Amino acid sequence: MTQSRILLVVEDDPGLQKQLKWSFEQYEVVIAGNRNEAIAAIRRYTPSVVTLDLGLPPDPTNASEGLATLREILALAPATKIIVVTGNDDRANAIHAVALGAYDFYQKPVDPDILGLIIERAFHLDALERDYQNLQQQKPLHGVIATSPQMQAVMRMIEKIAPTQATVLLLGESGTGKELLARALHRLSTRSDQPFVAVNCAAIPETLLESELFGYEKGAFTGAVAQTKGKIEYAQGGTFFLDEIGDLPFALQAKLLRFIQERVIERLGGRKEIPIDVRIICATHRKLPDLIDQGTFRGDLYYRLSEIVVDIPPLREREGDITTIANALLQRYCRENNLKEKHFSHDAAQAMEAYHWPGNIREMENKIKRATILSDGNFVTAADLEIGQPAENTMPLNLKSVREAAETVAIKRALNYADNNVSEAAKLLGVTRPTLYGLFEKYGLQGLVRNHSED
């Protein structure tokens, strides 16, 4: 679920519940009156900050239930900032709570102004920690935000092939970030101090594309009043990125193939061969083998372009990336537009997770930018995003399929968290290694076994 400024108040006094909810309306306040309700709220809302009264039922005169709640919350969500609220004569238990992992403590009676400062400081620390994690996730692929196992695998592949001279073909739906990854390949290459030149084959009219790519000599055609270099020449020494290569006109494909094979070009209207030293990266959202079968794309060109193929998964298949990317975009647009910091409401978070995102990250950028500017208050809602609320009848009702889907996700995340170590992943999941292997086979995940270490 997308993280926002959610404050969980664990307090059994109805009067104090109302006071705190009213006092901290700048946050999304969730109320829990006992340990079970608190744990349920942690699982449902994943709040960043919690205020926890140690005197909870069924034993409100002692701190045992409050301390047990503290331990359980930290076991589920170790990064949660818990502010323990105690009575004046309970300082020893407050200190003990901090030793167990609480962020801070505050003694009653409650002064909302003072408690508010502690809460805001906790949110600020949480934001700093998340920013640091995002920076770590983005290195060394600057600008690429990803936490999912699927994209982590893509990023590791990019890191491996970037220093080489291999021609790379990036495949993925529109809006998945193909150009961003192409630029990452360039930045991590030995050519990073040389030009990165991009051409979108679908954005330039067919009649102009040849001269755009290869340049032309003076007098080559009407209006050619001076010798002009093409984009390929401008990329000399660096990286040449051909986006939407599947839309390259068939008549131009032979000339591009000759350039790739011989690394020389001739300007339009010229006779001189010009040697070019560039690294070539291509991208497309189209299925090139299908185009070959249809006779609209040359097979020999395809095999030249696909020395290494990188498949980029759509956003809907990246576990957890919707959350991470959405939060990063929201904060960026707040800064760029000089707006007060905003966060996603519960319904917005749920709607984004349920939405199909046919336009992928590009669509998400557009919707979040618009919502950031037009939304009122501190929260962006599902209505602001214009993607609707997730309908209850869209949820799978078959418990077996729900369990299988959840176990599959947990296995993939555990392997990623354990840095590809099967034994460690089994420990994280609380199962034996043979049991984990059985789950691999049950859910058709044998490929994960082959790609991960056992020790």
DSSP 319-386: TTHHHHHHHHHHHHHHHHTT----EE-HHHHHHHHH---TTHHHHHHHHHHHHHHH--TTEE-HHHHT
Q: Output the pLDDT for position 450.
A: 47
pLDDT of residue 393: 41
- The fold of 6-138 is Rossmann fold (3.40.50)
pLDDT at 401: 59
Q: pLDDT tens digits, residue range 48-64?
A: 999 999 989 988 888 88
Please report the DSSP string for 71-116 in residue order.
HHHHHH-TT-EEEEEE-TT-HHHHHHHHHHT-SEEEESSP-HHHHH
Same CATH topology for 160-311 and 317-380?
Answer: no
Paired residues of 172 in beta bridges: none
Query: Residue 32: which of 43, 23, 71 has the closest Cα?
Result: 43
CATH class of the domain at 317-380? mainly alpha
User: What pLDDT does 284 receive?
Assistant: 97
Specify the pairing of strand 343-344 against strand 379-380.
parallel
pLDDT score recorded for residue 132: 65
Q: Domain 160-311: give its CATH superfamily.
A: P-loop containing nucleotide triphosphate hydrolases (3.40.50.300)
- Where in the chain are the domains? 6-138, 160-311, 317-380, 399-443
Residues of the chain with pLDDT under 50: 1-3, 138, 140, 390-397, 450-453
Buried b vs exposed e over 139-157: b needs ≥16 C-beta within 10 Å?
eebeebbbbbbbbebbbeb
pLDDT of residue 402: 66
Secondary structure class of 217 (helix, strand, coil): coil
Q: Are 163 and 189 in contact (CB under 8 A)?
A: yes
- pLDDT by residue (tens digit) across 277-303? 999 999 999 999 999 999 999 999 999
Nearest Cα residue to 123 out of 82, 163, 159: 82
**pLDDT at residue number 136:** 54
pTM score of the predicted model: 0.60
